[in-house]
Amino acid sequence: MKKKRVIFKNVDVIDIGSKGLSICKTKEDTIVMVKNGVPGDIVDIETYKKRKNYFLGNIIKYHSFSKSRTNPKCSHFGLCGGCGWQNMLYESQTKYKELKIKHLFKNIFNIDKINPIVNCDENFYYRNKLEFSFTDNRWLTENEIKSGENKIDRLGIGFHLSGKWNKVIDIEKCYLQNDLSNKIRLSLKKFSKTNNITFYNSKFNNGLLRSLMIRNSSLNEFMVVLQFCENKFEEINRVMTHLKLSFKEITSLQYIINNKKNDSIYDQKIHLFNGKEYINEKIKNLNFKIYPKSFFQTNIKQTVVLYEIVKKLCDFKGKEIVYDLYSGLGTISQFISSKVKKVIGIESIYDAVESAKKSAIENCIDNAEFVVGDMKNIFNEKFIQKYGKADLIITDPPRDGMHKNVINELLKLETPKIIYISCNPSTQHRDLEMLNCKYKILSVQPVDMFPHTNHVENIVLLKLRDQ
């Protein structure tokens, strides 16, 4: 039996919750979580799900709008899974990100003073990497459904629908990356439709065009990587030739043939069609080569800001041995190398480590060493014996945080200082709880790397407690 939906009227939107949802509180103190609400709005809500302590609902009417509200720039706002905060003034976005960090660190660590968040000067066109999905069954808008047309074009290329990762909405214009990204995507879509090139069907795992990755650098170099589901050489060649001839700006044009159920590229062979296998990027005076499988910060200007903060917090004296955990392309290692005796980067992806070694040579850095291996297995007593006891550790793990084995090793090692960088303060907070028995927090510094989203980068400086 279908549960009855509840309607709450004249409800205050009071705060921002997890995953970008807004927190609403009724006059009876009932909590309802909604999308697209801005604190300060007064709304009517229809619920669609009951949780233990709150409802999930949709806003069905606005009585008044918050002073923090603004008109979204993007026509896809509300459907697209990205940029969920575009309806909020930027200064309000960063205010709530800062509050998020304060709430996290107040509860367990009783830290009242959090450094003010570092804002992002450019909050549109700041990303250097976007990935788009092809579909032969795109999500239809309400207007399209209401039109009653039988022959609606279902082909599309875009992003996943908010909250529905198996559905794709067709994107006309995205404001996150250099506008050449839009031109490449739209040209590819038009060419493929005109030439009857098939789009991907996720249910049956067929159709030629599967995904599109576009990367660009501050040096104005562009990488395009197309993923095909089927090995149809003639059609692949036609598509790739179209991109080659249409966009001379593409520095690196590559493709992948992937018939797996998932579109992860890390276990796939990459074919170079035209240009170089990489694009060049620069951080201050350091040069880096970015390959299709390379992890690289998506906001290069804010990355420089982040690294400068890290360097300042480290307060190097010039004689330190530093471990850089989850080192990726070795960007942090090389950024700090001139200030330390030696830095050892550890990374699980072989290609990233090889790239880090090459860029270190190119950058004339001889005191940085890079080691490949799974962090939870390689970072142990044997490793410490080989490379020496660290004076400082920098860790920048993926969103899932650090493995408990790594945390246990940090506790055994008792390095005087740790700097923990995270794009997910929740898992960072979890890990810090485990480190809390031996380390105290000296500084918490949020940095906005991802405008118009609920994501925030956070830097925490830890010092070993007096034993």
423 is catalytic: yes
Distance of CA 224 to the CA centre of its chain: 19
Residue 121 to residue 150: CA distance in whole angstroms? 46
Q: Is 382 helix (H, G, I), strand (E, B) or coil?
A: helix
Residue 114 to residue 106: CA distance in whole angstroms? 9
Q: At CA 80, angle to CA 298 and CA 302, rounded to 5? A: 20
Position of tokens 């700006």? Answer: 249
Residue 223 to residue 209: CA distance in whole angstroms? 17
305 vs 308, 310, 458, CA distance in Å?
5, 9, 12
Which residues face 253 on adjacent strands? 224, 274
Q: Which of 74, 120, 423, 437 is the catalytic position?
A: 423
Position of tokens 């290069």? Answer: 300
Per-residue three-class SS string for 136-150: CCCCCCHHHHHHCCC
Q: What is the CA radius of gyration of the chain?
A: 24
Question: What values do phi and psi take at 381, rounded to 5?
Answer: -60, -40
Angle between helices 90-107 and 425-435 (to 10 degrees): 20
Six-digit token pair at 123? Answer: 């909050």
Could you list the active site residues? 423
